[in-house]
Chain A
Amino acid sequence: MLRVVPYLTVALLVGPILAGIAGAFLPAFGWMPTLGGSSLTLEHWAHLFQRPGLWTSVWISLASGLITPAVSLAIVFLFLSGSGGTWLDRWLKRAISPLLSIPHAAAAFGLAFLIAPSGLIVRFLSPWLTGWDRPPDLLIVHDPSGLAMMAGLIAKEIPFLLLMSLAALPQIDAPRRLAVARSLGYGPVTAWLKAVAPGLYPLIRLPIYAVIAFASSTVDVALILGPTNPPTLSVAVVRWLNDPDLSLRFVASAGALLQLLVTFSALLTWHLMERLLGFCARAWYTNGRKGHCDRLLAKAGAGGITLAAFAAFAGLAGLAVSSFAGFWRFPDTLPQAITMKHWVRALPNIEGPFVTALLVGLVATSISLILVLAALENEVRSNHPAGRRAMRILYLPLIVPQVAFLFGLLIGLEAVGVRPGFWPVAFGHVLFVLPYVYLSLAEAYRQLDPRWIMAARTLGNTPTRAFWMVRLPMLTTPILTAVAIGLAVSIGQYLPTQLLGAGRVPTITTEAVALATGGDRRVIGVWALVQALVPALGFGLALLLPRLVWRHRRQLREVH
């Protein structure tokens, strides 16, 4: 039974994924009879390549896909290497995981309000320091090279990579590696980079690839912080898809395939760099140098993390204040009046979508978790990497741009007679939740010392009993983390919810995005806070549960 699960999972997902990709592929080559496209042609590609600014869009997307993960990873590694267990380090480690629960769009809105020329920081410094009684005309948000967008992404990806690293670290026995290196006289940062990092990196490679895919194809963050003219490729694709001129949908499909290519290029480039660096680093590992400005590097890591945490929290605090704001003129540091109006207006509309979002999230995450656990258990037991290869298809939904992919899926579901509703939405969420659950759990699962299970088996336990009594309890923390991430991913889904539910399955996210198009920061503030609440609950549980359940098992109570 267990042996068929990976194939079952893949079979279950491969139909929707194929339908989705076909939905992008066929129109790109002119096939879409509903809109009068009934012959295969390359003309839409020609149109695509004539779009002004196309190559700039491509470059920005590619750059974002490489710079974002590189900077995030560097900060996370430097922070981990330099964190010595001071109270600040411990606090940062704890504070960072709630950051993960803030949806990308909400974090981006918060950051935009923080750094804009009429934003919080300038308000705090004006006019007493800057002399500005009107916002300066500075191009900070929406800058043409996408720096603000990358900053926003980095602030969001740092918590993700940090959490992934913290979940993986116990698997490689970092304290002992570090102790050995330190006893040989290596400085703290150098010891970590030479002894721990090479073991950690392979464990978080998949999450990094997910970051690359996301950073090169994000739509919501790019809309809020990214360049406008031309925008990133993904935003350009959305614009063409939403254009009233339905013939532009062919160009949009070609654009979606180009986006796929860009994301693949980013992944490939990263992979090659990885090889190159690995090759070059070999000499460095063994050159015997014991220190590399360790203190400076540690400070850089701590500084980077603190800045990211500050930006995200301050942005969210700005939105929170906005949600109670009456009239708030520039350069007032605080609103002139405080009002409950926006909350009172929103509250009656929150309960239903809140419950729906929670239900969809729980269903999608549970299905994903069961499938992933079964697939991993099968892989570990049979020591059979075929399932592993098959599971790679799971990454496609993360890499193919949602807009194009979902349209094909929609046609597929309609064609087999599935009507919009709760279950298509929950199933659609599985497509995007499952890969994240898989990548956040897979390495921890595989790396668990096989001798634990062997010991259980030699004591006369069946494999099933060993799974329930030994493996699951030992993996409580990574599993709960995976659940929390799955929940957060599900809550963040806008397009799958809207398209597969025909708008009839309203969640807090569909409500929030619809209201966000109205641009009233106070309304956005209300909904962003509500939106952050569900995943925050998930992460809170992921932190609390192991402490409660394992209060008598110190080694299992991993500190995060």
Chain B
Amino acid sequence: MPLRLQVFAVLILLALQFPLSPRAAEPDPGNWSAVLEEAKGQTVYWNAWAGEPRTNDYIAWAGKQVAERYGVDVVHVKLGDTAEAVSRVVAEKAAGTLTGGAVDLIWINGENFASMKRNGLLFGPWAESLPNFPLTDPDNNPGVRNDFTVPVEGYEAPWGKAQIVFYYDQAFVSEPPTTLAALLEWATANPGRFTYPLPPNFLGSTFLKQALLKLVPDTAPLYRPVDESDFAVVSAPLWSYLDTLHPQLWRQGRAFPANSTEMRRLLADSEIAISLSFNPAEASSAIANGEFPDTVRSFVLDGGTIGNVSFLAIPFNASNKAGAMVLANFLLSPEAQARKQDPAIWGGETVLVMDRLDPDERALFDRLDLGVASLKPDELGAIIPEPHPSWMEHLEAEWQRRYTDQ
């Protein structure tokens, strides 16, 4: 073989070999000092929804802290939708990029997590090895181990808590309707002043689940896969409720807002007078931000509302896994969680359990002024767990079948 051809053949062999070469050793989450050592000097690309300047400012603050304390640089990859990061990871896997991926950490929960986990797109388990993880009291706090009933199994670390709250403008609503019947009555008396986001937006779908949970005589079937019960029978009360409610909604139910932020804008513009959110501090922080009049207050439904936890996950092919873990651990620290809960900064509820903290750490939370429109922890009422995810899919499909294109 002439020399040139030989060189060529070697090059081709090298090129073919490259993807097959053994993968770089993954960091061992159990050996935290080794993780800290490996993380030093890494740059973590944190993919997180960036629709809120206050959230972005908080993320920038956290990045600065982690850079100063652990030598880990953080770049906030600003997303309009978490699906953009999921797309990226899917494309990388499809193209065979098994190491050196572009996404290091994703702010995620619910269906996005379920499908990434199901499709083998996540690295783990790692989350339960974080030194700060025990502060969430996982044994007595099932919310951090189940994401919409899907077992987390250490594939994502808890970051924030969410619970459905309603908020209303006292200028237009004298007595907040705390039952579904009262809500319907109020909407009928005030046509066009209430709405909910268009399913399958997660807040809109959660409103459907929330309503169904209140309307069925027995909620047990909702926590089992939908196939085990008669969907039409169980969901019937919801449809008859919505059939009555929709003509009374904003725009007679012929258009729906896209998401919770559009709901917020509608309330700020006095188009609607009652709205809902997954963030219990939404009203207070919007007042602090000058978006809402200070006549806005929050309420929950009698008997409690749906709540869940949002998480941080590391893709299977992330380039900087150790740095991502160090960042996730810092975000779970009492210091970072207390700052996050401060409505003047962000107003996102903590996942930490107070009796797991030192008195000093607890004081960080006790000191917070939760704002005039926030409910106190005991006023928030019981947290109702999310139903089995199969219900969400069926409810969304049936809703679209009934109410699309009328």
Contact of A510 among B47, B78, B83, B93 (CB under 8 A): B78
Considering the chains assembled together, what is the distance between the CA atoms of A158 and B404 in angstroms? 33
Considering the chains assembled together, what is the distance between the CA atoms of A407 and B400 in angstroms? 27
In the complex, chain B residues 97-117 whose Cβ is within 8 Å of any chain A Cβ: 97, 100, 102-103, 110-112, 114-115
Residues of B within 8 A of A415 (CB): 95-96
> Are A410 and B88 closer than 8 Å at their CB atoms?
yes
> Are A414 and B198 closer than 8 Å at their CB atoms?
no
> Are A518 and B53 closer than 8 Å at their CB atoms?
yes
Residues of A within 8 A of B87 (CB): 241, 407, 410, 499
> Are A519 and B90 closer than 8 Å at their CB atoms?
no
Binds A, one of B228-236, B265-273, B345-353: B265-273
Q: Does B51 contact A (CB under 8 A)?
A: yes
Q: Does A503 contact B (CB under 8 A)?
A: yes
Q: Does A35 contact B (CB under 8 A)?
A: yes
A interface SS class: loop
> Are A329 and B78 closer than 8 Å at their CB atoms?
no
Given A137-B191, A243-B200, also A502-B88 (CB < 8 A)? yes
Residues of A within 8 A of B270 (CB): 118, 134-135, 329-330
Residues of B within 8 A of A265 (CB): none
> Are B393 and A245 closer than 8 Å at their CB atoms?
yes
> Are B77 and A34 closer than 8 Å at their CB atoms?
no
Considering the chains assembled together, what is the distance between the CA atoms of A411 and B119 in angstroms? 17
> Are B251 and A139 closer than 8 Å at their CB atoms?
yes
CB proximity of B127 to chain A, nearest CB, Å: 20
> Are B90 and A246 closer than 8 Å at their CB atoms?
yes
Residues of A within 8 A of B56 (CB): 349
Q: Does A515 contact B (CB under 8 A)?
A: yes
Residues of A within 8 A of B79 (CB): 498, 503, 514
Contact of A229 among B92, B115, B401, B404 (CB under 8 A): B404
Q: Does B259 contact A (CB under 8 A)?
A: yes
Considering the chains assembled together, what is the distance between the CA atoms of A327 and B52 in angstroms? 17
With CB as the reference atom, state the residue of chain B lying closest to A239: B200
- Contact mask A510-537 → B, CB, 8 Å, 1/0? 1101111111110100000000000000
Residues of A within 8 A of B92 (CB): 414
Considering the chains assembled together, what is the distance between the CA atoms of A23 and B323 in angstroms? 33
Q: Does A288 contact B (CB under 8 A)?
A: no
CB proximity of B396 to chain A, nearest CB, Å: 9
CB proximity of B95 to chain A, nearest CB, Å: 3
With CB as the reference atom, state the residue of chain A lying closest to B294: A327
> Are B94 and A516 closer than 8 Å at their CB atoms?
no
- Contact mask B210-227 → A, CB, 8 Å, 1/0? 000000000000000000
> Are B119 and A242 closer than 8 Å at their CB atoms?
no
> Are A519 and B102 closer than 8 Å at their CB atoms?
no
Residues of B within 8 A of A330 (CB): 269-271
With CB as the reference atom, state the residue of chain A lying closest to B45: A504
- Contact mask B226-270 → A, CB, 8 Å, 1/0? 000000000000000000000000111011101101101110011
Considering the chains assembled together, what is the distance between the CA atoms of A346 and B57 in angstroms? 10
> Are B119 and A246 closer than 8 Å at their CB atoms?
yes
With CB as the reference atom, state the residue of chain B lying closest to A421: B102
Given A414-B97, A520-B261, also A329-B293 (CB < 8 A)? yes
> Are B251 and A506 closer than 8 Å at their CB atoms?
no
Given A34-B93, A34-B94, A137-B250, also A118-B269 (CB < 8 A)? yes
With CB as the reference atom, state the residue of chain B lying closest to A416: B95
Residues of B within 8 A of A32 (CB): 94
Q: Does A33 contact B (CB under 8 A)?
A: yes
Give the number of chain B interface residues (Cβ < 8 Å): 70
- Contact mask B59-102 → A, CB, 8 Å, 1/0? 00000000000000001011111011111101111111100101
Contact of A504 among B102, B261, B403 (CB under 8 A): B102
CB proximity of B99 to chain A, nearest CB, Å: 12
> Are A345 and B91 closer than 8 Å at their CB atoms?
no
CB proximity of A292 to chain B, nearest CB, Å: 40
Considering the chains assembled together, what is the distance between the CA atoms of A117 and B251 in angstroms? 11
Given A118-B270, A229-B404, A244-B110, also A502-B102 (CB < 8 A)? yes
> Are B91 and A414 closer than 8 Å at their CB atoms?
yes
Considering the chains assembled together, what is the distance between the CA atoms of A290 and B252 in angstroms? 52
CB proximity of B51 to chain A, nearest CB, Å: 3
Considering the chains assembled together, what is the distance between the CA atoms of A78 and B87 in angstroms? 46
Contact of B86 among A118, A223, A246, A345 (CB under 8 A): A246
CB proximity of A65 to chain B, nearest CB, Å: 20
Q: Does B291 contact A (CB under 8 A)?
A: yes
Residues of B within 8 A of A230 (CB): 404-405
Given A513-B80, A519-B262, A520-B261, also A339-B47 (CB < 8 A)? no
Considering the chains assembled together, what is the distance between the CA atoms of A150 and B110 in angstroms? 36
With CB as the reference atom, state the residue of chain B lying closest to A346: B53
Given A118-B270, A411-B94, A414-B95, also A519-B51 (CB < 8 A)? yes
With CB as the reference atom, state the residue of chain B lying closest to A349: B56
Q: Does A56 contact B (CB under 8 A)?
A: yes
Considering the chains assembled together, what is the distance between the CA atoms of A523 and B264 in angstroms? 14
In the complex, chain B residues 344-400 whose Cβ is within 8 Å of any chain A Cβ: 393, 400
CB proximity of B118 to chain A, nearest CB, Å: 8
Residues of B within 8 A of A34 (CB): 90, 93-94, 119
Nearest 10 interchain pairs by C-beta = A518-B51, A244-B111, A519-B261, A137-B192, A414-B95, A503-B77, A502-B102, A53-B405, A118-B269, A242-B83
Using CB atoms and an 8 Å cutoff, list the residues of chain A in contact with chain B: 32-36, 51-53, 56, 116-118, 134-135, 137-139, 142-144, 223, 227-230, 239, 241-246, 249, 326-327, 329-330, 337, 339, 341, 345-346, 349, 407, 410-415, 419-420, 494, 498-499, 502-504, 506, 510-511, 513-521, 523
Using CB atoms and an 8 Å cutoff, list the residues of chain B in contact with chain A: 45, 47, 49-53, 56-57, 75, 77-81, 83-88, 90-97, 100, 102-103, 110-112, 114-115, 119, 172, 191-193, 198, 200, 250-252, 254-256, 258-259, 261-262, 264-266, 269-271, 289-291, 293, 393, 400-401, 403-405
Extra 11 A-B pairs, beta carbons < 8 Å, given A414-B92, A519-B265? A118-B269, A142-B255, A229-B403, A242-B84, A244-B111, A327-B293, A407-B87, A415-B95, A504-B102, A519-B259, A520-B53
